[in-house]
Amino acid sequence: MLLRLPLLAAMVNGAAVLPRQNVNQVVSLSQVENVAVRSNGQILATNMNSANLYAIDPVAKTSKTALAISGARGLSGIGEYAPDVFAVIGGKGVYSVDFSAEPPRSSLIATLNEANNLNGLAVLSETAVLVADAGRGLVYRLDVTTGEYAVVLQDATMAPSGGIPFGIDGIKYRDGVVWYTNIFKNSFHRVAVDPETAKATGAYETLWTNLMGDDLCFGPNGFIYVATNGGNSLVEVDPEVGTPNRVGAVTGSTSCAFGRTEADANVAYVGAGQGVYAVTVAA
């Protein structure tokens, strides 16, 4: 979720943490909401005010419209559920975008009519994704082959607050655990789930409650990275410890995804209000 907030110093345990000087702008692009990286190294970027899915060449530092998703007014969460095939949230709809076709094509998977404000998306498997409803404070499991969906996760840690209101925002899944943020509660959480049903198999845990978190991504070094939006940074989280460590300054950071080539495997591409940025992290 893109917020327009003043520049803030990231605080960790009450102290400002200075970022490493490792940030470069890849492209200037207005109001980037979420990013994903294709296997060919191309970055995909969404905007909540546009149906255009943007394609970015991080080497040439150029961007273009890959395609406009018919039926959507704006796009948010995105994730690759099959080779070069992505699920993308557009309003109350979730669409499939197939880059294995030339030109790429999109199709509606399902419309979640009762949804209030769909935002984050996580890939559960090649046949299912998780979709976070920030307005209702819950998570749907959506079968991408049948379009069937159901609420599988709901907890007070996901509940909306604030003037919009907005709750659970970023969400990702890996190895039986769902990781998620609640943007206006300045909190980061996890819950163990069944890898098939995505229903909780353990307690909902809170890792922090003092730093804004938007979307997140997994790094190649085993750490989790969280874009902090109004915190204007990218933070690194050791999942065994849970404490955020600021690794880059990006104003209005909304999302992140790591490069997939040998040259950029330790580069986090960060979506933000003014474009996409490259943050190099320790291997």
For domain 11-280, the CATH superfamily is TolB, C-terminal domain (2.120.10.30)
Alpha carbon distance 238, 255 (integer Å): 18
DSSP state of 84: T
Find the Cα–Cα–Cα–Cα dihedral 41, 47, 51, 56, rounded to 10°. -20
For residue 69, give the nearest of 109, 126, 119 by alpha carbon.
Answer: 109
Q: What is the CA radius of gyration of the chain?
A: 17
Mean pLDDT confidence for 8-27: 58
- Tell me, what's the pLDDT at 14? 35
Longest Cα–Cα distance of the chain, Å, equals 51
pLDDT tens digits, one per residue of 193-232: 999 999 999 999 999 999 999 999 999 999 999 999 999 9
Structure tokens at 261: 């080539």
- Tell me, what's the pLDDT at 8? 37
- Tell me, what's the pLDDT at 6? 37
Burial of 194 (0-12, 13-18, 19+ CB in 10 A): exposed
User: Rounded to whole angstroms, what are the CA distances from 6 to 22, 77, 162, 232, 251?
Assistant: 22, 24, 17, 9, 9
Mean pLDDT confidence for 187-198: 98
Answer yes or no: are the C-beta atoms of 143 and 127 closer than 8 Å.
yes
pLDDT tens digits, one per residue of 263-276: 999 999 999 999 99
- Tell me, what's the pLDDT at 1? 65
Q: How confident is the model at residue 21 (pLDDT cuts 50, 70, 90)?
A: low
For residue 121, give the nearest of 142, 105, 106 by alpha carbon.
Answer: 142
Residue 106 has pLDDT above 80, yes or no: yes
Alpha carbon distance 78, 71 (integer Å): 16
Highest mean pLDDT among 3-17, 127-141, 158-172: 127-141
**Residue 152 backbone zone (phi > 0: left; psi -120 to 50: alpha; other: beta):** alpha
Answer yes or no: are the C-beta atoms of 79 and 121 closer than 8 Å.
yes
pLDDT tens digits, one per residue of 60-101: 999 999 999 999 999 999 999 999 999 999 999 999 999 998
Share of the chain above pLDDT 70, in %: 93
User: Rounded to whole angstroms, what are the CA distances from 47 to 65, 82, 199, 223?
Assistant: 12, 22, 30, 27
pTM: 0.93
The ranges assigned to domains in the chain are 11-280
